[in-house]
Structure 1
Amino acid sequence: MNGARVSQQPDSPVPLYGPVFLRPGLNPTAAGIVLGAELRRMREARNLTATRSGKLINASVSKVSRLERALSPPDLRDVEVLAAKYGANATERAQLRRLAQRALEPEWFDRYADYAASWMQRLIALESDAVYFCTYEARIAPGLLQTAAYARQIISDGLRVSEGDQVEQRVELRAERQRRFFEQPEPPRGKFLLDQSVLLRQVGTRQTMAEQLRKLLDYSDRPGVSIQFVPLNSSVVSNHGSMAHLRFGPLGPPAMVYVEGDDDATYYVKPDEVERRVELMLRLSHEAAASWRDSRAILRDAVKRYED
């Protein structure tokens, strides 16, 4: 994500071997993930270690690992050498090259690079491409659901950012994320689990809070969107403050879980790691959270309190 990118455009997408395709609209981050997964699959199919693959391109095992996990921009020469050494035919090599070229293109949010935490950039790139997006927030309304005034206050207070341009660029980034997520022809199915304390923790003025909570009510009326609250008297299921589970279509990246810390985040993609955390989110949804209907009643009561 932080490496140099080239602006060249790939040729018309063509099918990738097996069940995966370089589909139209595959964003650069997703292309890099698919590329890395395919290179790893080919390496393991030939019983090669990452150390051995590194020697094929005169690189360290760390570089191979970062390529396979899409943690750094791919080197076109490395991709071509590995594809050839793995026994890929001419068509397969061309397909991998196109994935690599796509992975090197700029992301839409690159213009906000100075205003987006580096550990969030993969999430920002992929969230609107998901077919299913489930998130849990224990402290504040999720960025995808924030009003401009609420976001502005969170940024000013939480990040201790006071300069106008610094704040407004971050607010614009959140607004653009919302547009890309919700205002596309087929938005992801979104499930938003919020701790009830989000309703009690006043951000900004009472008017700011009332406006934010009305926006949550509006979103909860949208088809494919569910907002549920975890009441204060419910059992403790998770000690995480922010989590997100993303699932993609059959032509996209593998499912993943994002867990945010204070100043970093972890992305889980291994099936067993994803499964454990998805089970936790399912428990939050089914054991701890109020129903959609009860959650709307909780939300309406909160709106009235801030409007009084």
Structure 2
Amino acid sequence: MSISPTVRGRVLARRLRNLRVDAGYTQKTAAEGLDWRQSKVSRIEAQEQYVSVTDAHALSSFYNVVPTERDLLVKLARDSKKKGWWQSYDDLIPEWFDTFVGMEAEASSVFTYESEFIPGLLQTEQYARATTKATVLDATRDDIERSVQLRMQRQERLSDPSELQLWAVMSEATLLRPVGDAAVLRDQLNHLTAMAEQPNITVQVMPFRAGGHPALGPFVQLSYPEEWHPDVVYLEIQAGAQWIEETPQVRKFRDVIEHLRAHALDPGDSIAAVKKRVGELDAEVHQLEEIDTKRRTR
């Protein structure tokens, strides 16, 4: 399992808050007992300040935790200060997406619903390049190439079924939208069918004929081993992102996920629909090649 400082930092902050509450302290009384400012306790629990190993030992002693919990807190403090591989892209991606990549890096399973594009974890380089050009209007050529590299690195965990389970439901629109040109889309859909053969990847298509459904837009649910982090839902919007973390709200998204799984084409029929679309694109690409050949011979 990959180690993500983003996840470890969030786990540490949550554990320290729960330990304080279980011990019967407020942030104020805990700060007084530790001879700290209250703002330090607040910032630690809000994950706005790194927890040093010394601080982890001090908090463990003050909250009178058992040695195994103390050792875990110290390990989390160390891990949360490490640099994630994606942080070399900090100058390229906004902070909210940096957080998402860090959270994705240690997830054990991902459910994603997409209404416009093939999910990033399943994109080819050419398709990723085309989507970046289309959606990031002020991106330079170098920005685009580095964005593609980032997306390809995110996909590496899919090569090991024990690392990451992916379930992707996508609107039928994603099979039709001409991202790049017909050849780019055809190659992307061929790649999608190949990826769906892996035991850790499930692909479903939500057909237009299914009508309306409760997914108002794209979202991602990230799940973790129980001891690390509860499930979270990520919603990306034009100017940022929203995290859904409260249990009742996450539970509502689980209901949405079950609805999508039940009403989309089953995995076998989904791949059949993708292959049918590939056939249509093959004919389109062949026709365009014939037109181009005739132009050249004139």
Give your verdict on TM over 0.5.
yes
Between 1:231-240 and 1:270-279, the stretch displaced more is: 231-240
State the alpha-carbon separation in 2 of the partners of residues 80 and 135 from structure 1. Answer: 39
Q: Residue 268 of structure 1 is aligned with which of 244, 249, 263? A: 244
Q: Does 1:211 align with 2:190?
A: no
The offset of 1:73, in angstroms, is 3.4
AA aligned opposite 1:40: R
Q: Does 1:142 align with 2:123?
A: no
The offset of 1:269, in angstroms, is 2.6
What's the counterpart of residue 87 of structure 1? Answer: 64
Q: Does 1:201 align with 2:183?
A: no
Q: Does 1:299 align with 2:274?
A: yes
AA aligned opposite 1:141: I
Do the aligned residues in 1 keep the contact of 2:52 with 2:78 (CA within 8 Å)?
Answer: no
Q: Residue deviations 1:87-114, cap 9 Å, x none?
A: 3356644542331121011111111112
Q: Residue deviations 1:143-182, cap 9 Å, x none?
A: 1111111111111120014422111111100001111x21
State the alpha-carbon separation in 2 of the partners of residues 91 and 292 from structure 1. Answer: 44
Q: Residue 231 of structure 1 is aligned with which of 202, 207, 217? A: 207
AA aligned opposite 1:213: L
State the alpha-carbon separation in 1 of the partners of residues 84 and 201 from structure 2. Answer: 26
The offset of 1:220, in angstroms, is 1.1
Between 1:185-194 and 1:219-228, the stretch displaced more is: 185-194
User: Identity of aligned pairs, percent?
Assistant: 27
The offset of 1:227, in angstroms, is 0.6
Q: Does 1:40 align with 2:14?
A: no
State the alpha-carbon separation in 2 of the partners of residues 65 and 139 from structure 1. Answer: 40
The offset of 1:212, in angstroms, is 0.8
Between 1:288-297 and 1:142-151, the stretch displaced more is: 288-297
Paired residue secondary structure (2:38): coil
Q: Residue 110 of structure 1 is aligned with which of 87, 97, 100? A: 87
State the alpha-carbon separation in 2 of the partners of residues 249 and 165 from structure 1. Answer: 37
1:146–1:69 Cα change, 3 Å:
farther
RMSD, matched Cα: 2.3
The offset of 1:237, in angstroms, is 2.1
Do the aligned residues in 1 keep the contact of 2:186 with 2:282 (CA within 8 Å)?
Answer: yes
1:37–1:202 Cα change, 3 Å:
same
The offset of 1:40, in angstroms, is 1.6
Q: Residue 220 of structure 1 is aligned with which of 196, 203, 219? A: 196
AA aligned opposite 2:106: D
1:69–1:275 Cα change, 3 Å:
farther
1:299–1:66 Cα change, 3 Å:
farther
AA aligned opposite 2:166: G
Q: Residue deviations 1:244-284, cap 9 Å, x none?
A: 11222234222222122222222223322211111111111
Do the aligned residues in 2 keep the contact of 1:128 with 1:187 (CA within 8 Å)?
Answer: no
Gaps of at least 5 residues in structure 1 are 1-23
1:239–1:64 Cα change, 3 Å:
farther
1:284-295 to structure 2, matched below 5 A, reads: 284-286=260-262, 288-295=263-270
Gaps of at least 5 residues in structure 2 are 284-298
AA aligned opposite 2:201: V
Q: Residue deviations 1:54-113, cap 9 Å, x none?
A: 5653133xx645533545533555544433332335664454233112101111111111
Paired residue secondary structure (2:143): helix
The offset of 1:48, in angstroms, is 2.5
AA aligned opposite 2:154: R
Do the aligned residues in 2 keep the contact of 1:247 with 1:256 (CA within 8 Å)?
Answer: yes
AA aligned opposite 1:281: I
What's the counterpart of residue 152 of structure 1? Answer: 129
Q: Does 1:58 align with 2:34?
A: no
State the alpha-carbon separation in 2 of the partners of residues 188 and 131 from structure 1. Answer: 5
Aligned residues between the structures: 281
State the alpha-carbon separation in 2 of the partners of residues 237 and 67 from structure 1. Answer: 40
AA aligned opposite 2:23: R
Q: Does 1:163 align with 2:145?
A: no
Paired residue secondary structure (2:14): helix
Paired residue secondary structure (1:214): helix
State the alpha-carbon separation in 2 of the partners of residues 198 and 54 from structure 1. Answer: 53
The offset of 1:226, in angstroms, is 0.8
